[in-house]
Structure 1
């Protein structure tokens, strides 16, 4: 090859190019973004709307349905889901893959803005957000030592603005604090006597708190705009608002009501290590480096800490960058260990430090070159991309080994160093390129299919591809050049050591095996078929799962009290739990309590629900594993009075939902509830299903007020007027807002606190009539206590009930199959359907996508070999090395106890490109010998032992390079472990079958080829 000759003739040029690539690689490495997992670009948007204190039924009817109707016709919308819960509506929209989410978000905002006017007055402004299940806070900071109101003030004035200016920080949210508001406490009887109602006060306040433009005037040659500023800027302006009574008297607001600043009751509580705290959560920018951003925040905290009051303490509660750094460092250690294994194998086979150096140098060059390509393609340094380098560490030297082995062969036959380097590299360069290309093309379908499998593993595929391309370039340029300069003494025959004698025995033994399998060809093929059949029978025993979870040393404690429990009672229970958690101080670094906060920080929290996030100390500082600590906590908290406590391990997951979720759709919520109850009972009897529950199981007590329209109209009242006065009595009404000292204050009408105490007070709530008199609420309405839903779900504008469950002791695939089999026996009413969602659905879709990718990979491997050999027959022979991988994969997963997961499936696809490499080298050399006038039989007997050494070297280096990952050494290695196990066992077993089966298949197809040629020759004659 011209490239080989050029590299040998111009060594200085090759060295300069390599130096430039290395320099560029180091620069790129410094600028690469570091994260835990690759960014998953899911086209999902969410509309979050608050509706103060409204019941789920009202939220659904008045907020969720109008917004659903507005967005349902958007182009590219695949799934529309809504969740209506007390005080909040969440609308989720999943668009088709390939939809530009930025453009879709603009369309969503436009659609939502069209219906904003029909939403209830006290509903908040709908917030349209890009939904990213991975967009979780990278750092959580606790601020303690003062009152929540003071801590809120300190956070907003001193800390948040400074932290948000740091590099990479997108936003800082504050939870658990208290803010001031202006409360106007009114007495309804007094207002009734004056002929003033609450709506009059609200309208007057709004009218008084206005600013407007009133035209312009001329001043010389200038035109001055007139602006009338009537906005409030202090509480005195609120107090001095003038109201007109029914008799025409003018009174200031503070003459008829108490106006003062009070602390707002948010219904939420935050604690850090048992102390009341305000918690700050930091989100990073999309393209920001997580580790660098976290370091910037930590530096800023150190800078701002001296300026805080003495009694205020600021502490890092959670820092995801720590787990990322530990995970990345673990992978780096695995790369180093794998590299050392590969070098040790080379040294063992080559018996020369110089020869080992010639090949070993391709590893760092390939890795550093990969960083350059990753930077320019926008990839990040994460567990999977770094794992790709660890997986490819052994494969990086494969091409160089084959080239060097052939150079050695020519050198030992008496050729000079330059001649041996040129001839040896040029002869096998085509085969090496074909082998590398077959490995590369298997990744192309992964990049092209849709879904989470492609999003997650495309970066890994690109990383391995970049490394292999770099190593291929090194093998046909740098390796021949270095061989022509360094392999002088290295090639001299020396004394045979134990390893040489072992290889000699293996060669002779392999040659004897070849003679037997060539003699008993049918027996060889039959035994292979039986082996494959037996391994296929193992697959059901292996089972399937989605993706392994990573242990990041975090535990979540969910606390559920009886629905409707007050915030004060919840605090009493959590104080007991906090005391018990403090007893785990030897293993717990920090625990963070949140009461009443909504999911994902959006909206809709409940005072009867609390959750703890527990961060354990580093694994090296504790004797118990996360699982053991979790079990001890569960036992210790199981007898907490008045609460149901669930302890789960938090994993560095991908936001894929519950392992098993059954979604039931239909028109009538009552029917859906009955079906859900039946499915829960069915799932409880399925082995492996843990804690199945329905989304409608929980209900909360509520008081339904049914206004008698006839009685109300007799007093000159409408239903809306009654509702408004009840709202004022028990939750207050927001009248207006104004800015004071740079802060926005809410002005709210409330009634005296002792007037809103219980059911009796509700029944006796005085309702002002049109005549100015008051009547008790019970005289114009019926009040009934019922159990109401906690949340109402809808999908594609149809009611939906979800049944969710965890799994244990069995794999996800078999549990899902059993559950579906049992549900199929139910008689669903017409119009009611179900489907399985959660991780089970994600797994099914991912396996479907990867199956398509595998088929395309096999076709591409064959196509590449057909082009390389310019022959359709030889590639077909080589493809017979693939079925045997099933044996290794099934046995490997069965022995290690790992299920067939998405990473393992990717490993199978990788094997399609890896296992054919040995067959390519073997078949190619058989053809070379036959072109040298060897008979077929002699060519096989000569080529087998001759290629055994490089095949063993490439296989052993690849396998040993992946051993650290297969052992799951270090944190964050769980995602690569099934992939590594699959490749190790699959490659090892298939290599054996390649050495034995391929020569037999070669003879069969060669015989067939001869018969076909004779047949056509006779037809021509």
Structure 2
């Protein structure tokens, strides 16, 4: 390997014009690669979860659980590879979420899920809408979300949205899908008049059957007429509302229009959505997997402006409140600024150490060439290896992290060349060749150790946030380090031949004095080796104690700043009262925009009829979008605290601040209770909620035990029904057909297929007395429903939750700060141990908390795995068992600095600090590698051990200090917002996400550099003595 490295150096020095052309080609390819790399907000990610959704409106959660959830659970539960299966039943349908174990073939799993659903399709309700199967991917995250508003009639708004807005946006390159939430879709309504039905003795069940049977097209085979083959098709579908009105109901000339109003119209508005006080619809734009975020969003914005200028769009307006391209641009801007600032600081530091402008410029040249080379390698890996590599906020963070390490290899090379040129008097050609070749081994070894710490990812598997971030950061850092190594072994020697033509033996006063001082200190440490060994042991004990005092956090840092306020109103609240309440709350929040750093206020509520079509949306809540951290003075936690103080108290109204996860983030803790009896779970849930409310770090306790809509239970009296020849099923079908808002068939009009709805008129289905008078026909005899059944008004659940075939209740809460989750979980664990769980009932922390625990377990595994990998790699490179052991002492030296800086900064252990520690493990040994390798080289030239240690330390003092200082200064832009929130805004968003990673590296590298220079030489001499002693004993034996 090193012979090849030396050959590469020789080629670069001898073929300088060729190397110049290679560099020029890399610059051109780098620009092309950067412009062609996809830009994303988050890395490409495919979940190991599959979600099955079955919309079933106008139902109760109990009915959905019985008719949908349990059959789906029984069928889907037989699939191999399932980790957990959770389900929920609500008034508008069922949802089943299946989590598969790591390594499952998800394409095959999706096929099996669809097959199992097909097997039980005959057991599901016949009027069930289409069952959808979805596997989450990052392309499911909208790249643009905006609200549209227009004071138009509903018909004009629908026509504009369907025929202008959607069509013009969906035709743009890179746009995969455009969805509009809250847009009412027209339907064909058959509103029955019960009085006319009774007068003509029309049975609703028969009427619905008649509609279904007369609205079909059926293939009739084919006939041959001579040489022609003609297909036969029975055309029976309705083509117009008039045709439906004319449908005969009996042989006496009775038509459907005689007993019902048939109209192509819009349904009653059930959901209300507002943005900044204006009623609006929310539009979500998704891009294709291969499209560039910036290349998609920019044309969409331009198209929106063009649409707004259309004559037919007078009165139309839109407001963008979530823009992924803005986040990407912001990340690129931060990377650019960090690169410029970090690079400038690193160059200044190098000049202070080298005091030579040409030498400093030569090293600085490595920064842009290495960065550009990184883009080339990333693009080639994407194209040739078919890897889904993108530029996203995570990979950009990795690139920002690596900026400080870009010049490390070049600094070592140029310092060695500089020494050969000015101290040994070699020519520029010979000094470039010998100087670069001399340090080829240590810089290859140091680069290899940085790369090898990412190898444990191969064995982690899974799709957690730790694996996702570690993989993207790791790939970027590895490519950057490979690029910097190649630049150090080629471009730097090539340029040195030209730039270092003349010798420059000017003394460097302060660095020469520092070398003399350092030499004296080494003399002292070598004379008092055992005293230093005792100090090392004391240091290790201090490290262990210090790490035991650092808090741990299981919370996920969110990249969004958002607060959710949920609103619970009494069920007797009318729509007018709900509107008044929300307007009052909006006025309150709007008046505190500046105080609370609120950028946008979105809120939504439903009519409360249980017929909401906004399936799976959170209704009756405020979403407060906060200003970016750079433009704000408050953290999200501080905003939540202030909101608690100003939220009004209103009788019967519940206002609570909900836990918010945002994109790749979560806050708070969850406790899940599971068992067989929902009543017992409800009691346990109330007990746990009361216990959580008493814990000091817990805020905003919430449960899944929300009461749902009031329900009228119709209990058919079987004896009465049998006397009239009716069954409970026949009675239920009659009630369902009369009152349900589910479609009985479909009606094709133009380019759309709309739902055909049959139900009583709105004014005929408002009271309990009207329900009792619903006629049920038996053998031509009309019997009122009230004569066949008993009625009871009860409070139903809003949602029924299940997990692994057991009923589930979830208790959730916020914590007093984002770093308090681990302490809160310990308190909750102690509290739960005091609660007597009945046999067959169990509890666990929520899914997000379990994911955080898994991430930290993965981080610990990767860290413990990386340690022996680094040792084995160095043993192979040095062909020694003992010298790598000496170098590994750099790790505890680094841990001392990590512990100190985390304690001073109040930073807990979390996912990003674990990633930073793993990267530090590969970086921190580099100084010791460079030092030990040069000591070995000097001993091979004939110097005794003591002289080689002292002189080797003096020779390598400057490059070690330069690489450490440049790395630390290069990371300064990343950690500065974390350390100085008074200048950069609250520690949230990117500063809270990425800064802990840089903080760990800076703290560890600072102490490790200092202690490596002082203690590693002493340990080297002790271990060398021990090795000699073992050899003497072995020879004696």
TM-score range, shorter chain: over 0.9
Q: Deviations over 1:625-666 (max 9, x none)?
A: 7666665555444346754334569675316x5531222222
Q: Deviations over 1:410-454 (max 9, x none)?
A: 112211111111111111111111111111111121354123111
Q: Deviations over 1:209-245 (max 9, x none)?
A: 121222333344221212232211110111111111x
Aligned counterpart for 2:229 among listed residues 213, 223, 242: 223
Indicate the residue corresponding to 2:3 in structure 1.
none
Aligned counterpart for 1:872 among listed residues 867, 877, 881: 881
Indicate the residue corresponding to 1:117 in structure 2.
122
Indicate the residue corresponding to 2:247 in structure 1.
241
The answer to whether the aligner puts 1:906 opposite 2:915 as a matched pair is yes
Indicate the residue corresponding to 1:476 in structure 2.
489
| TM-fit CA distance, 1:117 | 2.1
The correspondence of residues 571-582 of structure 1 with structure 2, limited to 5 A, is 571-582=579-590
Q: Deviations over 1:246-265 (max 9, x none)?
A: xx423221123222233212
Structure 1 stretch 160-169 or stretch 613-622: which is displaced more?
613-622
| TM-fit CA distance, 1:606 | 8.2
Indicate the residue corresponding to 1:834 in structure 2.
843
The answer to whether the aligner puts 1:262 opposite 2:265 as a matched pair is yes
- For 1:132 and 1:88, locate their aligned partners in 2 and report how far apart those are by CA, in whole Å: 23
Q: 1:641 to 1:742 in 2, by over 3 A?
A: farther
Q: Deviations over 1:303-354 (max 9, x none)?
A: 3223333122233343232233223312321122111111111111111221
| TM-fit CA distance, 1:757 | 2.2
The answer to whether the aligner puts 1:283 opposite 2:283 as a matched pair is no
- For 2:644 and 2:813, locate their aligned partners in 1 and report how far apart those are by CA, in whole Å: 18
Q: 1:197 to 1:391 in 2, by over 3 A?
A: same
Indicate the residue corresponding to 2:1036 in structure 1.
1018
- 2:658–2:702: 8 Å Cα contact kept in structure 1? no
Give 3-state SS (helix, strand or coil) of 1:395's partner. Answer: coil
Indicate the residue corresponding to 1:56 in structure 2.
61
Structure 1 stretch 195-204 or stretch 682-691: which is displaced more?
682-691
- For 2:748 and 2:80, locate their aligned partners in 1 and report how far apart those are by CA, in whole Å: 41
Q: 1:625 to 1:92 in 2, by over 3 A?
A: closer
The answer to whether the aligner puts 1:137 opposite 2:138 as a matched pair is no
Indicate the residue corresponding to 1:766 in structure 2.
774
- For 2:510 and 2:255, locate their aligned partners in 1 and report how far apart those are by CA, in whole Å: 105
- For 1:890 and 1:564, locate their aligned partners in 2 and report how far apart those are by CA, in whole Å: 57
- For 1:690 and 1:728, locate their aligned partners in 2 and report how far apart those are by CA, in whole Å: 46
- For 2:510 and 2:97, locate their aligned partners in 1 and report how far apart those are by CA, in whole Å: 65
- For 2:721 and 2:371, locate their aligned partners in 1 and report how far apart those are by CA, in whole Å: 80
The answer to whether the aligner puts 1:705 opposite 2:718 as a matched pair is no
The correspondence of residues 116-195 of structure 1 with structure 2, limited to 5 A, is 116-132=121-137, 135-145=140-150, 146-195=152-201
Indicate the residue corresponding to 2:804 in structure 1.
796
- 1:930–1:939: 8 Å Cα contact kept in structure 2? yes
Aligned counterpart for 1:387 among listed residues 389, 397, 404: 397
Indicate the residue corresponding to 1:359 in structure 2.
363
Aligned counterpart for 2:313 among listed residues 296, 306, 309: 309
- For 1:270 and 1:108, locate their aligned partners in 2 and report how far apart those are by CA, in whole Å: 34
| TM-fit CA distance, 1:154 | 1.3
Indicate the residue corresponding to 1:408 in structure 2.
418
- 1:192–1:768: 8 Å Cα contact kept in structure 2? no
Q: 1:85 to 1:708 in 2, by over 3 A?
A: same
Indicate the residue corresponding to 1:1004 in structure 2.
1022
Q: Deviations over 1:836-889 (max 9, x none)?
A: 234332221111111111122111111111111111111111111112222111
The correspondence of residues 81-92 of structure 1 with structure 2, limited to 5 A, is 81-92=86-97
Unaligned 5+ segments in structure 1 are: none
Indicate the residue corresponding to 1:294 in structure 2.
297
- For 2:24 and 2:912, locate their aligned partners in 1 and report how far apart those are by CA, in whole Å: 35
The correspondence of residues 558-577 of structure 1 with structure 2, limited to 5 A, is 558-563=566-571, 565-577=573-585
Indicate the residue corresponding to 2:981 in structure 1.
none
- For 2:179 and 2:100, locate their aligned partners in 1 and report how far apart those are by CA, in whole Å: 28
- For 2:951 and 2:617, locate their aligned partners in 1 and report how far apart those are by CA, in whole Å: 77
Give 3-state SS (helix, strand or coil) of 2:991's partner. Answer: coil
Q: Deviations over 1:539-558 (max 9, x none)?
A: 34321224653554544443
The answer to whether the aligner puts 1:977 opposite 2:995 as a matched pair is yes
Structure 1 stretch 163-172 or stretch 582-591: which is displaced more?
582-591
- 2:559–2:990: 8 Å Cα contact kept in structure 1? yes
- For 2:139 and 2:592, locate their aligned partners in 1 and report how far apart those are by CA, in whole Å: 29
Aligned counterpart for 1:421 among listed residues 432, 445, 459: 432
| TM-fit CA distance, 1:710 | 1.4
- 1:878–1:916: 8 Å Cα contact kept in structure 2? yes
The answer to whether the aligner puts 1:670 opposite 2:679 as a matched pair is yes
Q: Deviations over 1:705-746 (max 9, x none)?
A: 221111122222211222223234433553321112223232
Q: Deviations over 1:794-839 (max 9, x none)?
A: 1122222222122124522222122112212333222222222343
Indicate the residue corresponding to 1:99 in structure 2.
104
Q: Deviations over 1:908-935 (max 9, x none)?
A: 1111111111111111111112112222
- For 1:766 and 1:653, locate their aligned partners in 2 and report how far apart those are by CA, in whole Å: 50
Aligned counterpart for 2:668 among listed residues 653, 659, 665: 659
| TM-fit CA distance, 1:585 | 6.2
| TM-fit CA distance, 1:620 | 6.8
| TM-fit CA distance, 1:624 | 6.5
Q: 1:686 to 1:506 in 2, by over 3 A?
A: farther
- For 1:117 and 1:790, locate their aligned partners in 2 and report how far apart those are by CA, in whole Å: 27
- For 1:738 and 1:582, locate their aligned partners in 2 and report how far apart those are by CA, in whole Å: 44
Structure 1 stretch 265-274 or stretch 726-735: which is displaced more?
726-735
| TM-fit CA distance, 1:186 | 2.2
- For 1:585 and 1:1000, locate their aligned partners in 2 and report how far apart those are by CA, in whole Å: 61
Q: 1:547 to 1:835 in 2, by over 3 A?
A: closer
Indicate the residue corresponding to 1:813 in structure 2.
822
Give 3-state SS (helix, strand or coil) of 1:739's partner. Answer: strand
- 1:596–1:605: 8 Å Cα contact kept in structure 2? no
TM-score normalised over the length of structure 1 = 0.94
Indicate the residue corresponding to 2:469 in structure 1.
456
Q: Deviations over 1:123-173 (max 9, x none)?
A: 222111113488332222322221344312211121112211222222111
Indicate the residue corresponding to 1:210 in structure 2.
216
- 1:331–1:973: 8 Å Cα contact kept in structure 2? no
- For 1:715 and 1:174, locate their aligned partners in 2 and report how far apart those are by CA, in whole Å: 49
Q: 1:150 to 1:415 in 2, by over 3 A?
A: same
The answer to whether the aligner puts 1:329 opposite 2:342 as a matched pair is no
Aligned counterpart for 1:396 among listed residues 401, 406, 415: 406
Q: 1:299 to 1:649 in 2, by over 3 A?
A: farther
TM-score normalised over the length of structure 2 = 0.92
Structure 1 stretch 405-414 or stretch 307-316: which is displaced more?
307-316
- For 2:330 and 2:67, locate their aligned partners in 1 and report how far apart those are by CA, in whole Å: 48
- For 2:632 and 2:884, locate their aligned partners in 1 and report how far apart those are by CA, in whole Å: 55
Aligned counterpart for 2:479 among listed residues 437, 443, 466: 466
Give 3-state SS (helix, strand or coil) of 1:218's partner. Answer: strand
Give 3-state SS (helix, strand or coil) of 1:242's partner. Answer: coil
- For 1:546 and 1:630, locate their aligned partners in 2 and report how far apart those are by CA, in whole Å: 20
Give 3-state SS (helix, strand or coil) of 1:250's partner. Answer: coil
Indicate the residue corresponding to 1:953 in structure 2.
962
The answer to whether the aligner puts 1:492 opposite 2:504 as a matched pair is yes
Q: Deviations over 1:657-695 (max 9, x none)?
A: 553122222222222222222222332233312223332
Aligned length in residues:
1007
Q: Deviations over 1:578-610 (max 9, x none)?
A: 3334435666554333324999x9964589x42
Indicate the residue corresponding to 1:502 in structure 2.
510
Aligned counterpart for 1:523 among listed residues 523, 528, 531: 531
